[in-house]
Chain A
């Protein structure tokens, strides 16, 4: 369910904090629209480090694979990434649906997959976290209560029994979303 206990602003601040700690830079200098690679000089391993930090912070499990990698394994090779390692038309359409609107102009069919990591921003990482937090179940799996609370604004727990909230794992969420989109939009 869409949760309201942790705000998007809080998540963005926590992503900034994770990025600042990983890259050893001043948190105040980080903007939501910053590309981790292009603007903040992150390298590939830094993404993992930031991911681990966010998982610790929120008690979640983030996706290890990019959405298009899931498309490839679920809907067949070549469906999102062609044999030249470039995005297909369908991949771009899918990303547009996922972004819920316009995409940055760099994202177009024929774009090289190698250029994709540079598009990851503080904001897109925060959206990934929000999606997982929004998988909060209606009721506590331990006691059935629906009284969720987040006293520190970061950790959701059961207001009745105190159990930590459980969320879906990021890769599973991506796969479920893809199944839904495929059915509704008949994209693949």
Chain B
């Protein structure tokens, strides 16, 4: 490995998550390392008559907030997705001692999130004021006429604003809506902001909850969801020949990124490092991936180039691995193209086999699970791997977690419409040379 620059290093000083497998990182990782599935029949809304009725729901009890000042903001303006994010961020911020950072304008916030879909209740309410030709504006403008607070819940920009308010971050904010790539892209863009000196600390991550009627039916209609399964727990089967689509889940993942010397001066534990970030677009079709994975290849190569690493330096790949007919073989093609002969020697696994697909949250959750796995020398498995698909012929760490030392990994996320992001994450390793630039010169 060649260290080519003295650019600002970006380390991870906190992480958190809430997923169908657990109320925090520890519980999620523990369950995932046992190969458990977080998928079950959907209970939150009526799925009768739909060809898919399963998903990964987060237990409501995990989201109960204490009677603190934060809960007012969350209850008044927040969508379910953001409440999940707040929960994950509290865990990450506590770990990083974020409230002890004095210079709040040097803390920024990047969130990958699409905000909530309109609820059926909202639509019914609006429908009352419209007869197919004209709006009854007096009814609409009355206090009960329109769920005006819900309007704010549909806006991703409001979500990141609330997040920065909740955690007292006065630095730059950015809202990212790149579907299944959003969580990774949020971490990647936050890493760039620190690298470029725009901030010293960033909250970054993603969240999503499409487990509501309006959101779910959209995915049912485009036939993206798994419809063939013996049990809910068996439905998400990335890289398996009998996969039939992805399983919708909800959740959130958060990290606290920090410039290395900033973290060291605070004396907080350094949990890992973001080494590189690649991002690209297929510029192809909206509902089909590029068949040769050209966009994915660009993202993977970009992340490694950014990290000044070569294929030989990568010990593990956390796959996007959605369990759809298209993604899994295309991702396999991309990995083979980038890694050549070495592709078959690198363990590749999909957390979605256990968690389902948390859309905007997936990239962030998976980046954290990748890091925790590295620190504990455990590679999480791809469960439900039973019937090999000749088009998917890599080492997918089938069904059981593997104990293996590994230091550097890629985490892939490929979004709807061909938006691709790849993070290169490493264990934290002290290097002789540190950035020579004193902290003060970066003051805003």
Chain B residues with Cβ below 8 Å from A83 are 241, 387-388, 390
> Is residue A48 within 8 Å, beta carbon to beta carbon, of the partner chain?
yes
**Interface SS of B by simple majority:** loop
Instruction: Scan residues 77-99 of chain A and give those whose CB is less than 8 A from a CB of chain B.
Output: 77, 83-85
Complex formed: what's the CA distance from A64 to B227 in Å? 12
Are the CB atoms of A48 and B390 closer together than 8 Å? Answer: no
Which partner residue on chain A sits nearest B291 by CB separation? A114
Which residues of chain B come closer than 8 Å to A84, judged between CB atoms? 390
Contact with B along A41-84 (1 / 0, CB 8 A): 00111001000000000000000100000000100010000011
Give the size category of A's interface with B.
10 to 19
Chain A residues, CB < 8 A from B221: 48
Q: How far is the CA of A43 from the CA of B391 in the complex (A)?
A: 22
Per the 8 Å Cβ criterion, residues 347-398 of B in contact with A are 387-391
Establish whether residues B288 and A85, one from each chain, have CB atoms under 8 Å apart when the complex forms. no
B196 within 8 A of A: no
B216-250 vs A: 1/0 string, CB under 8 Å? Answer: 00000111000010000000000001100000000
Question: Is there an interface contact between A85 and B390, defined as CB atoms closer than 8 Å?
Answer: yes
Question: Shortest beta-carbon distance, B225 to chain A, in Å?
Answer: 13
Measured between C-beta atoms, what is the minimum distance from A66 to chain B in Å? 12
- On whether the beta carbons of A48 and B285 are closer than 8 Å, the reply is no
B: residues with CB less than 8 A from A are 221-223, 228, 241-242, 285-288, 387-391
The chain A residues found within 8 Å of chain B, CB to CB, are 43-45, 48, 64, 73, 77, 83-85
24 contacts between A and B (CB under 8 A): A43-B285, A43-B286, A43-B287, A44-B285, A44-B287, A44-B288, A45-B222, A45-B286, A45-B287, A48-B221, A48-B222, A48-B223, A64-B223, A73-B228, A77-B242, A83-B241, A83-B387, A83-B388, A83-B390, A84-B390, A85-B241, A85-B389, A85-B390, A85-B391
Sample of 20 more A-B contacts, CB < 8 Å, known A48-B222, A48-B223, A83-B387: A43-B285, A43-B286, A43-B287, A43-B288, A44-B285, A44-B287, A44-B288, A45-B222, A45-B286, A45-B287, A48-B221, A73-B228, A77-B242, A83-B241, A83-B388, A83-B390, A84-B390, A85-B241, A85-B390, A85-B391
